């Protein structure tokens, strides 16, 4: 993601609550309409607000990619903030000429990399993309390309897309990409809704992929911070690739590094034409607006975009049934821990609701895992579960970190015992009702924010059906104890799982978790700490100040348990601003 996703705590929260978040039992009044080009619109009017939270979802994520272009969905998230023919440049004609010259050089560079890959296969060099093994002609071409990049930057109006919105009172502009969807969103004053329609339609109608190749360096750095510089990042990526045998969920959203090196502008344009066509997009608006006015604006601005000639292809590769347990043993600078991950079901599958309830029984300070492993046995510092029904397939994880002299093997036995009890022992009515009470209570909280309601509409629509927002609670409250036991028996078999065991590297000190993150799931802790590292790597004060301005809206939208992380994020941004203003090093 671009800096706009920093801090990306909101993205982490969305990943963890969607589609498992509890929803309001009452119906959300959503008005819908569709343009002749196929673009769909979801509108929720809230006249008591002074703003409109607005966004759109492209029904495309890393699962829609293929080997050779992995990560291109996430890369587009960067590109869509580079402006258009009218935004982000002082001379579009010269800008376009430079892009064409850059592409000619890049084709020559790609030809050399073809040779480099062959040299790598023959054992002549250690790394096809290493700077140390570059032939002279490649060095010369890259130098000429760098000159063109600098020429283009002289024409660019840096961050003009951001500035236009900010100067108009908008806040919280951000975006995120996951396996299934790419979402763009912002909150604007109610009297600036037409500006939003023009800005968003403009970057879809006349996009300019400025800094296409140099932006790869930004993505590489993001990958380094999120994956390679975190204690378990590379192993988490490896575990994901091991867990998904045949499904495209097996590669990371950020993409494989070798693919990032060889994207072409032609591939990007083809991808854009396929997945960013109007029929593959859904707009959502929540706030103080008039429905008829929104329809007129939608037709005036988004109606300019021509429809695609054909629909995007479906993801057709299904996950192969797993025939044997998979295990990964890793050593890292981390607290010893374990994860048991089982194959389950996709979004809106009839069993997904019972799995949601099961996760509720296991999770939280009063859940079975914490009570047993942390409080009673005192073998874990943290324990939890994660129900993850994605668009095309799903998984269910149980994880825990050791405490004292306990080992990951001790945690594995304890987690398995909790699953056995679920399968074989009656689930008390009171315990099941407690989970359902939590669903009812949290449902109102989650829809109190118009901004968070917007995000849920976009996520669920991208996953396959926005009406899930009005159906989840009832379906979940209808789950019985027998349903929970049935899914636990059906999916939690050793042959249907992968197990990741992490031991601490000899001599490594225990990981220090900031007090603000205590009590959050381990996965969230690791991701937030990685995002703090990203903040510390930002070298532009204005960028940091923009991030600081987004925090209030993001904090408001986050569920209560996650809000305590925001002071830490805010403090880290402020410290980095002070460091840069005082002339400190990055």
- Listed residues 518, 534, 561: the one ending a domain: 518
Around 503, how many Cα atoms within 13 Å sit in the side-chain half-sphere? 12
Tell me, what's the pLDDT at 354?
Answer: 96
504 with 371, same domain: the answer is yes
Q: Tell me the per-residue pLDDT of 50-75, one tens digit each, with 9 for 90 and over.
A: 999 999 999 999 999 999 999 999 99
406 with 360, same domain: the answer is yes
Write out the two tokens for 403.
């405490």
Write out the two tokens for 482.
């027998």
375 with 464, same domain: the answer is yes
For the chain, which residues score pLDDT lower than 70? 1-26, 229, 442-446, 507-512, 519, 521-523, 526-527, 550, 553-562, 584-586
Burial class (CB within 10 angstroms; exposed 0-12, middle 13-18, buried 19+) of 94? middle
Tell me, what's the pLDDT at 198?
Answer: 97
Q: Tell me the per-residue pLDDT of 475-519, one tens digit each, with 9 for 90 and over.
A: 999 999 999 999 999 999 999 999 999 998 876 666 667 777 776
Confirm if 70 and 256 have CB atoms less than 8 A apart. Answer: yes
228 with 339, same domain: the answer is no
The CATH number of whichever domain residue 397 belongs to comes to 3.30.830.10
- Listed residues 502, 518, 534: the one ending a domain: 518
Rounded Cα gap, residues 175 and 184, in angstroms: 4
367 with 260, same domain: the answer is no
Task: Evaluate whether residue 586 is within a structural domain.
Answer: no
Q: Which of 401, 415, 393 is nearest to 344 (CA)?
A: 393
416 with 509, same domain: the answer is yes
425 with 374, same domain: the answer is yes
Q: Report how many domains make up the chain.
A: 3
* Radius of gyration of the CA atoms of the chain, in A: 24
Tell me, what's the pLDDT at 178?
Answer: 95
Rounded Cα gap, residues 73 and 254, in angstroms: 8
Task: Evaluate whether residue 62 is within a structural domain.
Answer: yes
DSSP 67-91: TTSTTHHHHHHHHTTS-BSSSSBS-
Task: Evaluate whether residue 549 is within a structural domain.
Answer: yes
Rounded Cα gap, residues 148 and 103, in angstroms: 11
Q: What are residue 1's DSSP bridge partners?
A: none
Tell me, what's the pLDDT at 216?
Answer: 81
504 with 453, same domain: the answer is yes
Task: Evaluate whether residue 214 is within a structural domain.
Answer: yes
Tell me, what's the pLDDT at 507?
Answer: 67
415 with 544, same domain: the answer is no
Q: Which domain holds residue 535?
A: 525-581
295 with 381, same domain: the answer is no
- Listed residues 471, 500, 518: the one ending a domain: 518
Q: Which of 2, 451, 493 is nearest to 188 (CA)?
A: 451
112 with 242, same domain: the answer is yes
470 with 372, same domain: the answer is yes
In Å, how far from its chain's centre is CA 412? 29
The DSSP 8-state label assigned to residue 5 in this structure reads: G
Determine if the peptide bond prior to 7 is cis (ω within 30°).
yes
Tell me, what's the pLDDT at 453?
Answer: 92
């Amino acid at each position: 993601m671009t800096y706009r996703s920093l801090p990306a705590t909101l993205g982490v929260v969305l990943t963890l609550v969607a589609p498992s978040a509890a929803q309001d039992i009452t119906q959300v009044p959503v008005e819908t309409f569709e343009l002749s080009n196929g673009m769909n619109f979801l509108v929720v009017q809230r006249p008591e607000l002074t703003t409109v939270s607005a966004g759109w979802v492209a029904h495309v994520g890393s699962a829609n990619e293929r080997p050779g272009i992995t990560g291109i969905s996430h890369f587009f998230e960067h590109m869509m903030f580079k402006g258009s023919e009218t935004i982000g440049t002082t001379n579009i004609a010269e800008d376009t000429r430079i892009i064409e010259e850059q592409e000619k050089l890049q084709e020559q560079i790609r030809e050399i990399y073809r040779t480099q890959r062959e040299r790598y296969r023959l054992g002549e060099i250690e790394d096809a993309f290493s700077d140390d093994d570059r032939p002279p002609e490649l060095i010369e071409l890259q130098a000429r390309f760098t000159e063109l990049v600098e020429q283009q930057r002289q024409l660019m109006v840096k961050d003009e897309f951001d500035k236009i919105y900010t100067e108009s009172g908008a806040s919280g502009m951000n975006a995120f990409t996951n396996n299934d969807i790419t979402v763009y969103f912002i909150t604007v004053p109610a009297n600036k809704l037409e500006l939003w329609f023009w800005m968003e339609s403009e970057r879809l109608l006349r996009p300019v992929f400025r800094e296409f190749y140099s932006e790869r360096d930004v993505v590489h750095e993001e990958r380094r911070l999120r994956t390679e510089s975190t204690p378990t990042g590379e192993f988490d990526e490896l575990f994901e690739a091991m867990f998904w045998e045949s499904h495209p969920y097996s590669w990371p959203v950020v993409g494989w590094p070798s693919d990032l090196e060889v994207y072409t502008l032609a591939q990007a344009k083809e991808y854009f034409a396929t997945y960013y066509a109007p029929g593959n997009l859904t707009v959502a608006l929540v706030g103080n607006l008039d429905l008829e006015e929104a329809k007129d604006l939608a037709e005036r601005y988004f109606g300019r975009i021509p429809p695609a000639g054909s629909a995007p292809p479906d993801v057709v590769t299904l996950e192969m049934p797993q025939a044997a347990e998979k295990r990964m043993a890793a050593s890292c600078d981390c607290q010893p821990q374990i994860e048991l991950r089982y194959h389950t079901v996709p979004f809106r599958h009839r069993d997904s609701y019972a799995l949601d309830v099961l996760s509720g029984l296991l999770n939280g300070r009063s859940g079975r895992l914490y009570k047993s492993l942390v409080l009673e046995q005192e073998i874990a510092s943290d324990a939890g579960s994660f129900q993850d029904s994605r668009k095309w397939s799903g998984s269910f994880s149980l994880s825990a970190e050791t405490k004292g002299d306990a080992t990951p093997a001790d945690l594995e036995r304890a987690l398995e015992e909790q699953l056995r009890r679920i399968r074989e022992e009656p689930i008390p009515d009171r315990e099941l009702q407690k989970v359902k009470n939590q669903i009812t209570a949290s449902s109102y909280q989650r829809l109190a924010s118009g901004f968070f309601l917007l995000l849920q509409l976009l996520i669920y629509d991208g996953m396959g059906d926005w009406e899930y927002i009005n159906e989840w609670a009832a379906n979940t409250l209808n789950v019985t104890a027998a349903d929970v036991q049935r899914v636990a028996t059906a999916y939690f078999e050793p042959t249907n799982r992968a197990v990741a065991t992490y031991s601490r590297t000899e001599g490594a000190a225990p990981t220090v978790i900031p007090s603000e993150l205590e009590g959050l799931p381990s996965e969230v802790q690791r991701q937030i700490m990685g995002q703090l590292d990203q903040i510390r790597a930002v070298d532009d004060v204005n960028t940091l100040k923009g991030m600081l301005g987004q925090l209030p809206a993001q904090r408001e939208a986050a569920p209560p348990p996650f809000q305590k992380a925001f002071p830490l994020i805010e403090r880290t941004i402020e410290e980095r601003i002070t460091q840069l203003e005082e002339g400190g090093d990055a």
